[in-house]
């Protein structure tokens, strides 16, 4: 399997070459040259597989430069009941007739990013050992991504993590999750500033090519293809749990921010998994909902990006969206460049409303969308607790609200649960007047010793810190 860039670069690469990379050299995103097709006989064989074996089968179609036995061992080591809480790994729960929640949030940090990041940690360790190389991961987080990365990379040989976060701006629970890690290869850096300052620092350090090369700086952001690929697996696992046979369509609703999660659903659908509809759920930051309603993709400025009670969906632009648009315009890199380089670069938006391709988003690719507000989230959390005795987090509430607007009789609707309520306790308390239950392993974590350094919002200070801690 070879990978190409959405922007048309001539190079073709294999999986392990792009594993440790971010963007393609021309600024595009990597995609497989073709989507492997899965027929009904294969689906029948896969239906009864344990999650780790299903992951191996799907990953094998995209990874041909890791020996099968090694890849199988990596999957088996990653997807265990010990790490994810149940044998099913992603158990499905029926809320009411035809409406399901797929639990993706029972990994180490209680959010769905663990599903991909835990695999990435093991793939990185494997590939770095094979090359005899080291990698220093530099990131910026306002919560979920940073903790998922740290829990995936802790104790891994060949990897260090330098994670910046805005000092004092994460929830006490999120801070405790990250700062209580005592592993020598994990470095928490609290920046005096806001999340944008952290992102600017990461950009500045990455743009210093000499520093980047000397200190082998890498990232684990959501455009990484391996992360997206790992997420394809739970669409198959959800499908098998929601159906008794492989001729039945299923729809999914996905609380969305950077479009990574739902893009994995798109890949599963392109492989032939019988997905009828993919519902993109957004909060007040509705750049994606606007596109699927109108055909206009209009990125927001920082000042127009709302701070909401589903903060992991607070985005100004959706970094994985380019992958889907590439398929939408018939994989034409010239057209893609016109939209993402020329139009977006000049005007901050592009308009496909008059292009025949836009209709295909719904008709051929099955996309729908929805949007919710803080009041909708509170109402959905209350309603779900009252009628089904089930607590959901505000991101999952965004999903459930959009899902209810897109139900088709006879087609199961699976809503992806992207975080547990304890991670966003303040909003759950606002809705219900009570604290969500906390899993045993997180009891009292706020009182644990914290391992964090404070630095000013200055790229040079962060560079000095990295250089000091790299030998």
CA distances from 244 to 340, 419, 462 (A): 42, 27, 54
Q: Which stretch binds ligand PLP (CB under 6 A): 121-129, 259-267, 301-309, 436-444?
A: 259-267
Rounded to whole angstroms, how far apart are CA atoms 262 and 119? Answer: 18
Rounded to whole angstroms, how far apart are CA atoms 413 and 411? Answer: 6
Q: Does 259 bind ligand PLP (CB under 6 A)?
A: yes
Chain-centre distance for alpha carbon 125: 20
- Closest separation in Å from C-beta 144 to ligand PLP: 3
Q: Which of 13, 72, 77, 113 is catalytic?
A: 113
Is 252 in contact with 265 (CB distance < 8 Å)?
A: yes
Is 381 in contact with 397 (CB distance < 8 Å)?
A: yes
Q: Which stretch binds ligand PLP (CB under 6 A): 42-50, 198-206, 250-258, 459-467?
A: 250-258
- Closest separation in Å from C-beta 313 to ligand PLP: 5
Rounded to whole angstroms, how far apart are CA atoms 253 and 310? Answer: 16
Q: Does 142 bind ligand PLP (CB under 6 A)?
A: no
Q: Does 242 bind ligand PLP (CB under 6 A)?
A: no
Q: Does 401 bind ligand PLP (CB under 6 A)?
A: no
Q: Which is nearer to ligand PLP, 368 or 395 (CB)?
A: 395
- Closest separation in Å from C-beta 386 to ligand PLP: 23
Using DSSP, state whether 142 is helix, strand or coil: coil
Whether 113 sits among the annotated catalytic residues: the reply is: yes
- From the list 164, 134, 114, the residue with the least C-alpha distance to 423 is 114
Q: Which is nearer to ligand PLP, 205 or 318 (CB)?
A: 318
Q: Which residues of 300-319 are buried (b: 16+ CB within 10 A; e: fewer)?
A: beeeebeebbbbbbbbebbb
Q: Does 255 bind ligand PLP (CB under 6 A)?
A: yes
Site track for ligand PLP across 307-346, x = CB under 6 A: -----xx---------------------------------
Residue tagged 């029948």 (tokens): 44
Footprint (CB under 6 A) of ligand PLP, residues 94-133: 111, 113
Cα 149-28-62 angle, rounded to 5 deg = 65
Q: Which stretch binds ligand PLP (CB under 6 A): 3-11, 257-265, 268-276, 342-350?
A: 257-265
In the structure, how many helices (H) and strands (E) does the chain have?
21, 15
Q: Which is nearer to ligand PLP, 5 or 396 (CB)?
A: 396
- Closest separation in Å from C-beta 247 to ligand PLP: 29
Sign of CA dihedral 393, 396, 398, 404: negative
Is 3 in contact with 210 (CB distance < 8 Å)?
A: no
Residue from 106, 241, 258, 277 that binds ligand PLP (CB under 6 A)? 258
Q: Which is nearer to ligand PLP, 106 or 312 (CB)?
A: 312
Residue tagged 């300052």 (tokens): 197
Q: Which stretch binds ligand PLP (CB under 6 A): 47-55, 128-136, 251-259, 384-392?
A: 251-259
Q: Which stretch binds ligand PLP (CB under 6 A): 20-28, 161-169, 190-198, 258-266?
A: 258-266
Summarize as ranges the residues that interact with ligand PLP (CB under 6 A): 111, 113, 144, 222, 255-261, 312-313, 395, 418-419
């Amino acid at each position: 399997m070879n990978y190409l860039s959405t922007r048309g670069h001539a190079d073709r690469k294999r999986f392990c070459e792009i594993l440790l990379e971010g963007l393609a050299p021309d600024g595009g995103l990597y995609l497989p040259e073709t989507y492997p097709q899965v027929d009904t006989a294969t689906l029948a064989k896969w239906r009864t597989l344990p999650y780790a074996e299903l992951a191996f089968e799907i990953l094998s179609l995209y990874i041909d430069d890791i020996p099968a036995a090694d890849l199988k061992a990596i999957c088996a080591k990653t997807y265990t009941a010990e790490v994810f809480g149940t044998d099913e790994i992603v158990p499905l729960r029926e809320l009411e007739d035809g409406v399901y929640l797929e639990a993706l949030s029972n990994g180490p940090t209680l959010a769905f990013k663990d599903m991909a990041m835990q695999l990435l940690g093991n793939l990185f360790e494997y590939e770095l050992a094979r090359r005899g190389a080291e990698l220093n991961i530099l990131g910026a987080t306002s919560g979920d991504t940073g903790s998922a990365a740290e829990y995936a990379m802790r104790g891994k040989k060949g990897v260090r993590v330098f994670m910046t976060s805005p000092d004092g701006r994460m929830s006490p629970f999120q801070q405790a999750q990250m700062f209580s890690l005592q592993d020598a290869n994990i470095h928490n850096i609290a920046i005096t500033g806001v999340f944008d300052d952290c992102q600017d620092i990461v950009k500045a350090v990455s743009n210093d090519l000499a520093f980047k090369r000397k200190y082998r700086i890498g990232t684990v952001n959501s455009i990484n293809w391996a992360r997206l690929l790992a997420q394809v697996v739970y669409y198959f696992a959800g499908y098998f749990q929601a159906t008794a046979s492989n001729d039945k369509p299923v729809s999914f609703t996905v609380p969305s921010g950077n479009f990574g999660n739902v893009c994995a659903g798109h890949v599963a659908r392109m492989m032939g998994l019988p997905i009828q509809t993919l519902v993109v759920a957004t909060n007040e930051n509705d750049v994606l909902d606007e596109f699927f309603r109108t055909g206009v993709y209009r990125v927001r400025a920082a000042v127009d990006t709302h701070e909401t009670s589903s903060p992991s969906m607070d985005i100004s632009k959706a970094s994985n969206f380019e992958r889907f648009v590439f398929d939408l315009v018939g994989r034409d890199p010239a057209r893609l460049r016109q939209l993402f380089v020329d139009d977006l670069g000049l005007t901050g938006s592009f308009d496909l409303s008059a292009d025949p391709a836009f209709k295909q988003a719904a008709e051929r690719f099955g996309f729908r969308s929805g949007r919710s507000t803080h009041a909708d989230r509170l109402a959905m959390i209350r309603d779900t607790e009252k009628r089904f005795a089930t607590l959901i987090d505000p991101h999952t509430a965004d999903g459930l609200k959009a899902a209810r607007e897109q139900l088709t009789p006879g087609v199961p609707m699976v809503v992806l649960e992207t975080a547990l309520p304890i991670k966003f306790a303040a909003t759950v308390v606002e809705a219900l007047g009570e604290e969500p239950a906390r899993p045993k392993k997180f009891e009292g974590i706020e009182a644990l010793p914290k391992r964090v350094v404070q630095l000013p919002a200055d790229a040079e200070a962060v560079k000095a810190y990295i250089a000091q801690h790299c030998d």
